[in-house]
């Protein structure tokens, strides 16, 4: 009898998919279109697997083997996506996505680097590990994006997008959160469980203090394009 009913390894065997021999670095995006755009930065892209809407590609950059993924938008599916990245053998994983800013002065397109997580999600209790964030990868992010406005601090992960009330916003601000999103808790907890080096780079898409919504603003897409063009510098 299997100890765990379903795992990425079982899925690969079930669908007769060959696991790549070597992966140096993995990138996990919270939107599929961002992952597809990131693929254009690399050579020889090839789909590895599409599972439950999550998609994983392998590609080359010089002598490096990488994985680009649409790795989930919320904590539960991001946990699943990160399970796959860990199984594929990535020692280092960078999560790239959007977030809401929690400081009045934050502008659409500003960058957020998480150094800790305030967890309001449910999936993380199934991964009994101390959540760890790579300080060396965080420092690399700051070096690569030197000259851009970057905030480093605690990020809140929540399951309830449409329940971010003023009472809740004040509560997490009082706990010194600089941003809020819906996936990092699952990402970091799974990566920590499998002892992987992990970090994240978020782009501010809206501001919960000023109530500015930048989801359709040109400057958001311009900043995302810059972020994607710079990801080869992590290799």
Cα separation of the two ends of the chain: 41
Instruction: Residue 127: name the closest of 207, 45, 221, 190 by CA.
Output: 190
- Write the pLDDT tens digit of every residue in 125-173: 999 999 999 999 999 999 999 999 999 999 999 999 999 999 999 999 9
In sequence order, the β-bridge partners of residue 58 are 46, 67
Alpha helices in 104-165 (DSSP H): 135-144
- Cα–Cα distance measured from residue 58 to residue 84, given in angstroms and rounded to the nearest whole number: 13
- Write the pLDDT tens digit of every residue in 193-215: 999 999 999 999 999 999 999 99
User: Would you say the C-alpha torsion 180, 51, 55, 1 has a positive or negative sign?
Assistant: positive
- Cα–Cα distance measured from residue 223 to residue 213, given in angstroms and rounded to the nearest whole number: 15
- The DSSP output letter for 6 is -
pTM for this prediction: 0.96
- The DSSP output letter for 109 is T
CATH 1.10.1240.10 fits 8-234, yes or no: no
């Amino acid at each position: 009898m299997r100890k765990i009913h379903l795992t990425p390894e079982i899925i690969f065997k079930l669908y007769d998919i060959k696991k790549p021999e070597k992966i140096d670095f993995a990138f996990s995006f919270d939107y599929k279109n961002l992952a597809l755009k990131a693929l254009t930065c690399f050579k020889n892209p090839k789909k590895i697997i599409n599972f439950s809407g999550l998609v994983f590609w392998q590609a080359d950059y010089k002598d490096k083997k990488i994985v680009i993924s649409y790795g989930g938008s919320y904590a539960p599916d991001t946990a699943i996506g990160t399970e796959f990245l860990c199984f594929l053998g990535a020692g280092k994983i960078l999560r790239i996505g959007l977030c809401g800013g929690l400081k009045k002065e934050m502008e659409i397109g500003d960058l957020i680097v998480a150094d800790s997580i305030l967890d309001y999600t449910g999936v993380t209790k199934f991964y009994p590990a101390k959540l760890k964030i790579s300080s060396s990868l965080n420092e690399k992010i700051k070096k690569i994006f030197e000259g851009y406005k970057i905030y480093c601090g605690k990020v809140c992960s929540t399951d309830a997008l449409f329940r971010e009330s003023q009472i809740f916003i004040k509560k997490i601000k009082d706990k010194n959160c600089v941003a809020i999103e819906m996936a990092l808790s699952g990402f970091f907890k799974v990566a920590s469980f499998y002892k992987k080096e992990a970090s994240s780079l978020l782009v501010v898409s809206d501001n919960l203090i000023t109530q500015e919504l930048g989801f359709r603003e040109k400057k958001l897409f311009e900043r995302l394009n810059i972020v994607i063009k710079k990801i080869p510098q992590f290799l």
